[in-house]
Structure 1
């Protein structure tokens, strides 16, 4: 019985087996397409019952209670005896506890620099920061000022008010990023610190030429406290106002429009110029994952990340609940025991957090993930970390904390994509790469978001939302490394101003979702 391994799945375009085996020690293989009872896999294995595309098929008898492996790693435990050829999923596989060897740093190795420097056409700010987009942003200190902020931004919408920005072609837009927080929380607590850190990260983000912060006036998250805690100083590119001090909603909207008008001339006074790829900070996301995510789009993105790191750039791996069970593969690549321990501390925090909230980390995967072939969070995590490539883990950050290191880093975030990406952008991500198997229509602002599909069926169904089809790996037409190079080149082009699919559709403002962690009183 012969199966294709991970290294050869995309390299044998002339011979497409009905299943993919990712590691010689695996107990399961993955169906390329739907399998039906009686089909023969190789010379020895007969399919028992229906196995949907992207789902798992047992290659040997697996006794009750025994660990089941995919990627050469444990993805769960058999809840009953599973026969060879049988569908392996939620009906016969579940979570279980097992020891993981963190082996801090044993696989860390130097990353050779790229032979030739890669560049993109970036926007260099006066202080040396490099932008991939050029927006004016309107932030709110509290939900109470969200309507006013939206009304100010709506005045400058190109689809409804085409003349408002007609004289400012170098301004990508005026956007309002509103949220549901800012009051009825502990004035000295972690929740206020987190929303301030998030807003501060956006206020100083290089993709904003200028920012206006709008508040109500009596909220817990006072603008003065926000500015002080984040080291922000009002000036020509940072203005503030409150509805109460300005005299009501209509006056605030009118005054806000005038403030934005005053910012436009300077914001438009930019040009793109060649800059090194080391100025790229990429947030890595996966959403609507399926059984192919860890075979196609995620490892291809990982190959692009390896290229980015070799060029001195930075990639932010996140979604802590979605590395759970695979964290030992990251700690082995940590540059120091201290960095590895920081990741494990965040894993333990999530275990305690879920226990406190009567939740289970295995509640992630979602219903869509399971329909796509993923069974446990262990299996999902093992595929998810492939987005991070193979280079060293150089640091671990709190949610929305400014990322200062170059290379592969980790940021603690929830698995919910808008919340996670919001933290990454606050940390400095000037582009997002987002893999999806079930289909996503996510977009981000002020940082562009590229969506990478895991399978060709998704591409054919939802091409208007997907920037690149990585299903060609599964189809045998391309290799992981080929797609990694194409993704890297797409990243450079998008950072240079090429619009992503989500930007064309106008996504971004509604996807600003800061993590709400504290009690609302």
Structure 2
């Protein structure tokens, strides 16, 4: 690696350290010599010009902060000398053109998916159990224990064996025989939550839309729904939400209300009998070839580092552009992490009303956060800051790279469902699980998730492909990382080459030929968003 500093955009006045830099060392950035003032860890930003108090910090070609103290050339940027700042946006200023990537290689490629009656295609075949209210969580957990034990393959758990050995005082515990799956073509998943009652009525209505989106997601073959009976989220509200998304839904939806069924034992016996019959029927659904246009990929990042916006996120952006060029769908979420890049996104909106809707949602979200005593500037986590993402706009400018450069065809509020192919924006918080949960609820049949620090996040119905921004993370946490983009940082691969490799990987996951690490770990996270309560 010749250069130890990288300037992401020609307009930038800061550069990113690709390796740890020693104080006093002279390093090069695009043939320009820079003397390092203080020891600087990799991923952090170094000044390429002297800054006075109030001067603008430019990275990714946009305003990402302002200097709060004098900064010399070669000095590292920190939360002590830089503060969040972003450009104000009032509306569309121009229409941006787009040069679609060459996708000739993939235009006739297919993946093996599950056809649904409404034309959607799943990458998985899932029977889903969930409650309308938290009061039913225990019954859901009881059903999970019963179904998991009898339906799923059980492998020897080394941690279970370790505990047995400790209890028995022996070094070795006899291995139990493995059990095999009863059904090969259906997964049975269970989700619980803390909503459905209490709070405000709008929370229950929002949850109803989210759960309806999960039912309608093409990865779901059918559902078993548990209701108590007296909760805010009534069965009628859930059915209305489901009808609003898909008035002609043909999937089996089994609903049980405890207060109408008597004892828990009687209710569970009925649920088990009827659900088993439906699951057995859903197991008959088989994969068959479908064009790549049927892919709906959610774009997510979590546990980001200073390399995420240089390697992993731009790779996802190119994959997004390639998929859009193939008439597929990509969904960019996490609105707090679009702060600072609003102007570009507004200008990319095909329809004026979508540009206005995006700005309205952003302003309303930010106002709710401010009213709660916080702000978008509080978005970077301690882990983000430690690894070089010191302002929200800096984090956002890198996070937005996941959306590539294609036109924005639609803007969705939380709880709304995908209806247009191409690039969509979805209003969600930046919280990893809340956002991933919402992407699946909007209809994404697969999620690409970048991380620079490492996170095990998964989803109960959509495969989550974990993409690391650097090789060190992939080597340290191979049990959670599916594919890594460190070769981009080393100059061994271009963004285009990495994206082509990733698209091939996606096709294999979508076809069921590769199982994601999150699925292997049984990581099935589900957290609904209470609006205004989360960044």
Structure 2 counterpart of 1:140, from 120, 131, 156: 131
Alpha-carbon separation, structure 1, partners of 2:93 and 2:268? 54
Q: 2:481: which partner in 1?
A: 466
Change (3 A) 1:313 1:166: same
Structure 2 counterpart of 1:410, from 408, 415, 425: 425
Shift of 1:113: 8.1
Alpha-carbon separation, structure 1, partners of 2:502 and 2:253? 35
Is the Cα–Cα contact under 8 Å of residues 325 and 381 in structure 1 kept in the other structure? yes
Structure 2 counterpart of 1:75, from 26, 45, 64: 64
1:390-438 deviation line (CA, Å, top 9, x unaligned): 1001110011211100000000001111111111111100000000001
Runs of 4+ off more than 6 Å: 161-165, 232-236
Is the Cα–Cα contact under 8 Å of residues 292 and 455 in structure 1 kept in the other structure? yes
Structure 2 counterpart of 1:37, from 3, 20, 23: 23
Q: 2:530: which partner in 1?
A: 516
TM-score by length of 2: 0.89
Alpha-carbon separation, structure 1, partners of 2:117 and 2:180? 23
Alpha-carbon separation, structure 2, partners of 1:517 and 1:342? 17
- Count of matched residue pairs: 500
Alpha-carbon separation, structure 1, partners of 2:354 and 2:376? 23
Structure 1 counterpart of 2:189, from 147, 152, 175: 175
Alpha-carbon separation, structure 2, partners of 1:101 and 1:349? 14
Classify the secondary structure of the residue corresponding to 2:358: helix
Shift of 1:351: 2.1
- Say if 2:141 is the partner of 1:150: yes
Change (3 A) 1:37 1:166: closer
Alpha-carbon separation, structure 2, partners of 1:127 and 1:261? 24
Is the Cα–Cα contact under 8 Å of residues 454 and 468 in structure 2 kept in the other structure? yes
Q: 1:124: which partner in 2?
A: 115
Is the Cα–Cα contact under 8 Å of residues 156 and 165 in structure 1 kept in the other structure? no
Alpha-carbon separation, structure 2, partners of 1:408 and 1:282? 10
Shift of 1:192: 2.3
Moved more, 237-246 or 193-202: 237-246
- Say if 2:377 is the partner of 1:362: yes
- Say if 2:519 is the partner of 1:507: no
Q: 2:43: which partner in 1?
A: 54
Change (3 A) 1:433 1:308: same
Alpha-carbon separation, structure 2, partners of 1:359 and 1:127? 43
Shift of 1:452: 0.4
Change (3 A) 1:101 1:292: farther
Classify the secondary structure of the residue corresponding to 2:348: coil
| Ranges in structure 2 where 5+ consecutive residues have no aligned partner | 156-176
- Say if 2:6 is the partner of 1:16: no
Classify the secondary structure of the residue corresponding to 1:123: strand
Classify the secondary structure of the residue corresponding to 1:225: helix
Q: 1:87: which partner in 2?
A: 76
Q: 2:223: which partner in 1?
A: 211
Is the Cα–Cα contact under 8 Å of residues 118 and 311 in structure 1 kept in the other structure? no
| CA RMSD across the alignment | 2.1
Moved more, 390-399 or 104-113: 104-113
1:312-341 deviation line (CA, Å, top 9, x unaligned): 110010000000111111112111222111
Structure 1 counterpart of 2:303, from 240, 263, 288: 288
Is the Cα–Cα contact under 8 Å of residues 108 and 335 in structure 1 kept in the other structure? no
Is the Cα–Cα contact under 8 Å of residues 300 and 332 in structure 2 kept in the other structure? yes
Alpha-carbon separation, structure 2, partners of 1:442 and 1:77? 33
Q: 1:12: which partner in 2?
A: none
Change (3 A) 1:105 1:263: farther
Classify the secondary structure of the residue corresponding to 1:85: coil
Moved more, 105-114 or 344-353: 105-114
Shift of 1:153: 2.3
Is the Cα–Cα contact under 8 Å of residues 297 and 444 in structure 2 kept in the other structure? yes
Q: 2:169: which partner in 1?
A: none
| Ranges in structure 1 where 5+ consecutive residues have no aligned partner | 1-14
